Amino acid sequence: MLEVLTDRQLELLRMIASGMTQARVAEEVGRSETTVNQMMHVIRQRLGAASTAEAVAAAGIVQVPVVRRQRGKRTPPPDDDPRFAIRGMRQVRDRHGIIRWEKA
């Protein structure tokens, strides 16, 4: 089945299968996101697949599970990031690791 795909198309399909978004793939290969979207459309047509997941399965590429953050969980900003400073206040971390603000 892979003989119908060019090396570049196979590379794109592997990148997508590894969990990269089309925007990230476009950045990696130096093309626009629209071009990558069109290339994925051609790949799906050549493999006779209705979806990208089906194309990955048809190509026999083993998908690597992507670990995603849980919804609602936010990573706190680093303590030394000036973008998150409040004028006249400073961050203090207590013995439990909880950050609170107090007057400087």
Check if the beta carbon of residue 104 is closer than 8 Å to that of residue 91. no
Return the pLDDT at 62. Answer: 64
Give the span between the Cα atoms of 14 and 90, in whole angstroms.
46
73: CB partners within 8 A, 6+ apart: none
Domain ranges of the chain: 2-59
* Span 33-64, pLDDT tens digits: 999 999 999 999 998 888 888 888 888 776 55
DSSP one-letter code for 2: G
pLDDT class of 94 with cuts at 50, 70, 90: confident
CATH number of 2-59: 1.10.10.10
* Span 59-89, pLDDT tens digits: 877 655 555 555 666 666 555 665 556 666 6
